[in-house]
């Protein structure tokens, strides 16, 4: 078992290193962090999407350099992306406006 744990740690370290390299190669070394988003904007988006009868989820791309917001509405799924170098609060505000008209 100890060998497997060591292998997993080595894999995790290798994965993190590759992700950092990909971010650096794109010219941005920023990491997306939902903790930096205005909580009121996040709640507002949840509110307008659910009032419209939808579901929204929040995440990151595999390399951690981009925020993702996935919305399922009337059986259709769409994912919007915001790079960590962009303003996440402006991005959320734009999504809120898009869904305000739907509800």
Extents of the domains making up the chain? 30-100
pTM value is: 0.71
Asked whether residue 7 carries a pLDDT value surpassing 60, the answer given is no
3-state secondary structure of 101: coil
Asked whether residue 5 carries a pLDDT value surpassing 80, the answer given is no
What confidence tier does 36 reach under pLDDT thresholds 50, 70, 90?
Answer: very high
Asked whether residue 50 carries a pLDDT value surpassing 90, the answer given is yes
Q: Provide, rounded to the nearest whole percent, the portion of the chain with pLDDT above 70.
A: 78
pLDDT reported for residue 27: 47
Asked whether residue 103 carries a pLDDT value surpassing 70, the answer given is no
Owner of token pair 């988006």: 45
Task: Return the beta strands (E) in 1-103 as ranges.
Answer: 55-60, 66-73, 76-83
């Amino acid at each position: 078992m100890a060998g497997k744990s060591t292998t997993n740690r080595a894999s995790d370290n290798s994965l993190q290193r590759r992700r950092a390299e990909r971010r650096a190669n794109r010219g941005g070394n920023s990491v997306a962090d939902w903790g930096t988003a205005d909580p009121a904007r996040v709640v507002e988006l949840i509110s307008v999407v659910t009032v419209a009868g939808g579901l929204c989820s929040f995440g990151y791309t595999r390399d951690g350099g981009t925020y993702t917001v996935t919305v399922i509405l009337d059986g259709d799924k769409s994912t919007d992306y915001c790079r960590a170098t962009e303003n996440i609060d402006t991005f959320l505000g734009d999504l809120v406006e898009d869904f305000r008209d739907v509800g």
